[in-house]
Amino acid sequence: MYNKRVKVKDLLQSEQTGHEVTVMGWVRTFRNSQFVALNDGSTNNNLQVVIELGLLEEANLKRITTGASLKVTGEVVASLGKGQKLELKAKSVEILGDSDAEKYPLQPKKHSLEFLREIAHLRFRTNTFGSVFRVRHALAFAVHKFFNDKGFVYLHTPIITGSDAEGAGEMFRVTTLPFDNPPRGENGDINFSEDFFGKSTNLTVSGQLQGELGAMAFSEIYTFGPTFRAENSNTTRHLAEFWMIEPEMAFCDIEDNMNLAEDFMKYLIKHAIDNNREDIEFLDQRLAEEEKQKPQNERSELGLMEKLQFVLNNNFERITYTDAIYILLESSHYKKKKFKYDVTWGIDLQSEHERYLVEKHFKKPVIVTGYPKEIKAFYMRQNDDGKTVAAMDILAPGIGEIVGGSQREERLEKLEERMREMHLPVEEMSWYLDTRRFGSVPHAGFGLGFERMVQFVTGMTNIRDVIAFARTPNNCEF
User: Is the CB of 87 or the CB of 465 nearer to ligand ATP?
Assistant: 465
Minimal distance in Å, beta carbon 14 to ligand ATP?
40
Burial zone of 156 (CB within 10 Å; 0-12 exposed, 13-18 middle, 19+ buried): exposed
Residue 252's SS3 state is: coil
Report which of 381, 371, 465 is spatially closest to residue 129, judged by C-alpha positions: 465
Q: Does 404 bind Mn ion (CB under 5 A)?
A: yes
DSSP for 262-326 reads HHHHHHHHHHHHHH-HHHHHHHHHHHHHHHHTS-GGGS-SS-HHHHHHHHHHSPPEEEEHHHHHH
Q: Which does 354 bind (CB under 5 to 8 A by kind): ligand ATP, Mn ion, none?
A: none
Calpha distance 35→79 (Å, rounded): 12
Which residue number, 167 or 303, has a Cβ lying nearer to Mn ion?
167
Residue number with the shortest CB distance to Mn ion? 404
Using an 8 Å Cβ cutoff, are 88 and 23 in contact? yes
CB-CB contact of 371 with 390 (8 Å): no
User: In whole angstroms, how close is the CB of 224 to ligand ATP at the nearest point?
Assistant: 12
- Closer to ligand ATP by Cβ: residue 106 or 366: 366
Size of the site for ligand ATP (CB under 6 A): 14
Tell me how crowded residue 318 is: count the other CB atoms within 10 A of its CB: 16
* Partner whose footprint covers residue 229, from ligand ATP, Mn ion, none (CB < 5 to 8 Å by kind): ligand ATP
Q: If binding is defined by CB under 5 A, does position 365 make contact with Mn ion?
A: no
Residue 134's binding partner among ligand ATP, Mn ion, none (Cβ under 5 to 8 angstroms by kind) is: none
Interface residue with ligand ATP, options 67, 370, 404, 445 (CB under 6 A) = 404
Say whether residue 398 binds ligand ATP (CB under 6 A): no
The site that binds Mn ion (CB under 5 A) totals a number of residues, namely 1
Partner from Mn ion, ligand ATP, none binding residue 207, C-beta < 5-8 Å depending on class? none
By the rule CB under 5 A, 405 interacts with Mn ion: no
Q: Which residues 429-448 are close enough to bind ligand ATP by CB under 6 A? A: 447
- Please report, for residues 142, 348, 372, 400, the alpha-carbon distance to residue 355 in angstroms, rounded to integers and kept in the order given: 27, 14, 20, 6
Choice between 38 and 165, CB closer to Mn ion: 165
Question: Does residue 451 interact with ligand ATP by CB under 6 A?
Answer: yes
Does 365 engage in binding with ligand ATP (CB under 6 A)? no
Instruction: Name which of 231 and 434 has its Cβ closer to ligand ATP.
Output: 231
Report 229-288 residues binding ligand ATP (CB under 6 A). Answer: 229, 231, 238-239, 242, 244
Measured CA to CA, the distance from residue 57 to residue 222 in angstroms comes to 58
d(CA 243, CA 394): 17
Residues in CB range of 59: below 8 A, 6 or more apart: none
| Contact call for residue 452 and ligand ATP (CB under 6 A) | yes
Cβ count near 183 (within 10 Å): 12
Scan residues 193-232 and list those touching ligand ATP (CB under 6 A): 229, 231
β-bridge pairing 86-97 and 47-50 = parallel
Q: Which does 258 bind (CB under 5 to 8 A by kind): Mn ion, ligand ATP, none?
A: none
* Beta strand pairing call for 220-228 and 153-154: parallel
Q: Find, among 175, 169, 174, 157, the residue nearest to 229 by Cα.
A: 169
Closest CA to 359 of 400, 319, 308: 400
> Which one of ligand ATP, Mn ion, none interacts with residue 465, CB within 5 to 8 A by kind?
none
Q: In terms of CB distance, is 398 or 404 closer to ligand ATP?
A: 404
Stretch in the footprint of Mn ion (CB under 5 A) among 161-169, 288-296, 346-354, 398-406: 398-406
Residue type at position 287: L
Residue of 88, 402, 415, 429 that binds ligand ATP (CB under 6 A): 402
Residues in the chain: 478
In the complex, the smallest distance separating the C-beta of residue 407 from ligand ATP, rounded to whole angstroms, is 15
Is 139 buried (19+), middle (13-18) or exposed (0-12) by CB count in 10 A?
buried
Q: How far is the CB of 454 from ligand ATP (least distance, A)?
A: 10
The residues with which 250 forms a beta bridge, in sequence order, are 443
Stretch near ligand ATP under the rule CB under 6 A, chosen from 129-137, 155-163, 364-372, 401-409: 401-409
Query: Could you tell me the CA-to-CA distances from 370 to 321, 348, 350, 367, 419 in Å, in that order?
Result: 6, 12, 16, 10, 19
Binding flag, residue 403, ligand ATP (CB under 6 A):
yes
From 121-129, 131-139, 367-375, 402-410, give the range in contact with Mn ion by CB under 5 A: 402-410
Q: Which residues are near ligand ATP by CB under 6 A?
A: 229, 231, 238-239, 242, 244, 401-404, 447, 449, 451-452
Q: Which residues are near Mn ion by CB under 5 A?
A: 404
